[in-house]
Structure 1
Amino acid sequence: MPNPIYLDHNATTPVATEVAAAMCDALRNLYGNPSSGYFLGQAAAMAIADARQAVADLIGGNPEELIFTGCATEANNLALLGLARASADKRHLIISAVEHPAVMAPARYLESQGWGLTVVPVDEYGRVSADAVADAVTPDTTLVSIMLANNEVGTLQPVAEISRLLKGRNVLLHTDAAQAVGKLPVNVEDLGVDLLTVAGHKFQASKGIGALYVREGTPIRNILFGAGHERGLRPGTENVPAIIGLGVAAQLASQRLVLRDDRLCRHRDQLHERLRSAIPGLALNGHPEHRLPNTLNISFPGVTGKALLAAASETVLASVGSACHSDEEGPSGVLGAMGLRARRANGAVRLSTGWETTAEDIELAAHGLIQAWSQLTTN
């Protein structure tokens, strides 16, 4: 049997060949501590600086405003809890109903510590209203945290519009851009955000590396304690190979975005059309236009998503939703927040393409999914 087609790039991506090569070279040759004064340490420090510049270029920020973290979850926790530590008087936070657990959980923690928390609902496409977010602001609001792209249905949030409505109201804006960076153009100035989260393994860097953009002048304090690494906000000796790999992945992503390579969108739509033409009643979940170019969340009629993927497992590797919820029973919280009925939510499958996905892969995957659905609905 050939290897199954991997269509779960929103969960994680294969490490790019160029990234792996750069990381291996760093493991062998850049083993000095970046804080050391001799040449081995300084060589590592220079490589980190180059990577910081590459990631900053990808998101349109300054390298001095970029903090390397161990993952996007850590970056989100630093954003919310770090701002909370720096906020003496204002103690109110606003998030959306479809945030990743890496934002939802620290927000709920702050609520347990006496903070006010407003969770703004989403529409049937999983999108918040910018006006509703702005209307939720009170004189006590410190931060609004709205994801840029949803990890399950791919819906894009109106972050730039929210920023415009918050202007002059002395409220900070954070966006979890883990799913968006590397897949579509992301620019902190265009978005108007004060903080932005990056996840390396979502765009062909390794796991174990992320970053938080913190606009100069943003009041934030560390949540980990130690030495003064990363402007004192993330203590601990830097993970030099992973940081270098993130820099290379950022360069690769920048090149693709400059070329306006539309293969992600093209393959997503090819897959959708093949499935829609063969399966009556197939339903798209998420916004039909304002969504990630690689993400197709669809509900298969008459079956559960888990049963379908199990039946198609020799052909397709995908998921019913976020990898962070893969062991949970019942429909996704994101789909529930969108108001989907139980039967449709239970039939949902998330299919996410990658830069290495081919048109032939799409045809094979579509055939496998159609065959699995037919078998399940005729038995």
Structure 2
Amino acid sequence: MRNVPTHATTPLPIVLAGARGHGRWHLANIRRLQHQGLVRLAGVCELNPLTDTELEAFVGEMPEQSGDFGALLDSTGARAAVICTPIPTHTALALTAAARGVHLLLEKPPAATFDDYARMADGVREAGIACQVGFQSFGSHAVPAVKELVRSGAIGELKGIGAAGAWVRDDLYFRRAPWAGRRRLGTTDVVDGVLTNPLAHAVATALELADRGTAEDVLSIETELFRAHDIEADDTSCVRVTTTGGLPVTAAVTLCAEQAGEPYVIVHGDRGRITFWYKQDQVLVQRAGHGPEETVHGRTDLLENLVGHLVRGTALLVPPERTGAFMRVVEAVRTAPEPAALPQDVWHTLPAGTGDGVRRVVPGIDALVAAGADTLSLFSELGAPWARHSEVSTP
């Protein structure tokens, strides 16, 4: 391992591993920060190199390209890397960077298994590098604002946290990559289900607002996993985490919504509630003796925060330890029985909004998801006729 400097200077040379799919968002974000003089895209790691068209925003300052991540880090002298590759590759690539003293922005979920997560977290800690996990919602300024409202007693005693996500995904979404919608590829765990990837932010943000984000904060986890699409993983599921202090944190989510909606988290108190639409940074406070109070907050970009940490010592927003409770949920989903296929008479198909895809819709699921967040209940407790009782796991 090379020595890790205690201070960095800008522009920080960065390698992006995985520049297609969601990686395109990171590519655009790096260009934005490069324009501000904060970073410089030194390299792109893709098995199939990006075309000049894909890199047109970097004309005149083209990055080096290679399918060998370690070799690219060495040849570019990168100080940081963004990893946006298939879930099962996260740990190996993170440890490759750590061995070279390269700091990280690691996409969520940080790993496919809890053991891989722990190995990654231990590796980056021993290497002395900074690692930021890509839960963008943690960068919302609404998160500390909501926590302060709870601490100040604005909604009374905290009773629980509920999250709801009702999204629409068609069959093409599950064919976007070989690992999409899979629980495993051969003997390799993937765990690409609705709770652990597309709506992972709902689960992680709920745990963060509960201030119960570490692995040690989890007492037990109940899961109910279902699928309407012809996939291996779950697309309509709920989970309830009971924390060591007895606080329930429930998330109910689906990719088979009647109408796509913005996901949100509800903080329940005995004298009110706070709703946080985490993609919009919007907060609604409803409490006894007050009218509704709505606010919209700013947001700190996670890569920008990582640069600030390296240059000025700014605190990291999402260090790996803050995602330990979420990884307990990933592990509970991974080790749960296979998701139950929903009977064909409880879903129907509709054409996708664009393209040639077809989506599957579970009538009534939008209201069921909302009820789960509102009452902190699981699908079976809400009377869904297709819902089996939950599987309970303890760390």
Q: TM-score, normalised by structure 2?
A: 0.33
Q: Greater share of strand residues, 1 or 2?
A: 2
* TM-score normalised to structure 1 length: 0.34
Q: Which has the higher contact order (CA 8 A, sep 6+)?
A: 1
Counting helix residues as a fraction of each chain, which structure ranks higher?
Answer: 1
